[in-house]
Amino acid sequence: MALGGAQALAVLKAIGNDNAQKEYYLTDAVAGARAMGGKAVTVTASESEVLGVNDRVQLAAAEAVLQGRLRESAMRGGATLLAPDTVYFSHDTVLGRDVLIEPNVFFGPGVTIADNVVIKASSHLENASVSEGASVGPFARLRPGAALEKNAKVGNFVEIKAARIGAGAAVSHLTYIGDAEVGEKANIGAGTITCNYDGFRKYRTEIGAGAFIGSNSSLVAPVRIGAGAIVAAGSVVTREVAADALAVARGRQDEKPQWASRFRGKMEKFRKK
């Protein structure tokens, strides 16, 4: 049963419970509408169009119908789904042409994907935009506010939140970029994180075009890395790095000859006691 929106509340309020069971029957809406000068008509529809949803089992069945339609629409619109039954769309997902979507990808609300994008397996996207030619995943997460520009790359086990990744920039693996601006053709090494939260407030990180951030670096926001700068692997950066400079922010390596063998000998004597 369907009711016109303009009259629905009045019709429903007119339904009474003057019956043996003292229950309110939705079917009484027909008589109520007629009494108000309206009319009832029948419309033939497919079963899937008029599915009842009274519990979670029926809700899942209705969702399956919707997902089937969204997948078919995506493929007819020019996207390739390698394993369609494993891809889940939101009602407002926008896909360009020649998009390739690998298995087990989830699209939350507010996702826009441009032409020639590859979304690799087991990635999760929500309120994010991906520009032409970009690549996401596998096992990547784009959180709200993530924006990838043309030919940007976000690789495996990378999380992006409220950040723009510039054209041609690469965030290839094992990295968290949050509340940040990454310039075009910058390279973010494995294990890099933007330390954007102090427990009370969020701060931004700016990484200039062509900058290179070495592996396992921590960029403590607010901080700016200049264009073309290099941050040495393992650094904890707390101050601005000038353009084209090298920043090394880690403890100096100290070596004690034969210390390890003496330590093992001491531990073996201790074990024998």
Tokens 């043309």 sit at which residue? Answer: 150
pLDDT at 30: 87
Cβ partners under 8 Å of residue 231, min gap 6: 211, 212, 213, 214, 217, 219, 225, 237, 241, 246, 247, 249
Q: Which residues of 184-222 are buried (b: 16+ CB within 10 A; e: fewer)?
A: bbbbbbbbbbbbbeeeeeebbbbbbbbbbbbbbbbbbbe
Mean pLDDT is lowest, of 23-27, 235-239, 247-251, for: 23-27
- Which CA distances in Å does 98 have to 16, 75, 101? 56, 9, 10
Average pLDDT over residues 214-218: 98
pLDDT band at residue 225, thresholds of 50, 70 and 90?
very high
Q: Is 91 a catalytic residue?
A: no
Q: How far apart are CA 99 and CA 77, in angstroms?
A: 10
- Which CA distances in Å does 19 have to 16, 23, 28, 34? 8, 7, 11, 19
pTM of the model: 0.84
* Residue of 173, 192, 229, 231 marked active site: 173
Specify whether the CB–CB gap between 159 and 141 falls below 8 A: yes
Domain annotation for the chain: domains and CATH numbers: 5-35 (no CATH), 55-251 (2.160.10.10)
Per-residue pLDDT tens digits for 238-250: 999 999 999 999 9
pLDDT at 21 exceeding the cut of 90: no
Q: How far apart are CA 239 and CA 110, in angstroms?
A: 35
